[in-house]
Homo-oligomer: A and B are copies of this chain.
């Protein structure tokens, strides 16, 4: 097992955040690195937690929410009630994630349209002669389609 621990600045660099950020996550109880003297030493498990937190952050989750998700992987749920309520929260999360996924796909489709129009427009500019009216019509079509969304 190579390199079983990490320093704070190693992780900071790997994930493209500041050390302050990682210490902040500890303040909030998101990670609990060991200490060697007073220096922090992060385990691979700590590293994964940070990674998952940042993943959550990328899709707009609060730290609290990310922790909630991460903790679902831990077996702190013993009895029937806890398991069933866990299933419920799982389903809630899933619903929200599916909505987000749809939002992203819609937005991607919009980007495709914009880009297509840009490239078409650029191509037309390549040909020196063209009617300005035609250009204007092409430019406005996307905006109109957007306006027609219910």
Contacts and interface: CB of A to CB of B under 8 A. Distances in A.
Interface of A: 44-45, 48, 51-52, 55-61, 69, 72-75, 77, 80, 83-84, 86-87, 90-91, 93-94, 97-101, 103-108, 110-111, 114-115, 118-119, 121-122, 125, 136, 139-140, 142-143, 146-147, 149
A130 to B, nearest CB: 14
Given A48-B146, A58-B60, A122-B80, A107 B69 contact: yes
Nearest to A66: B107
A90 B103 contact: no
A97 B59 CA distance: 9
Contacts of A93: 107, 111
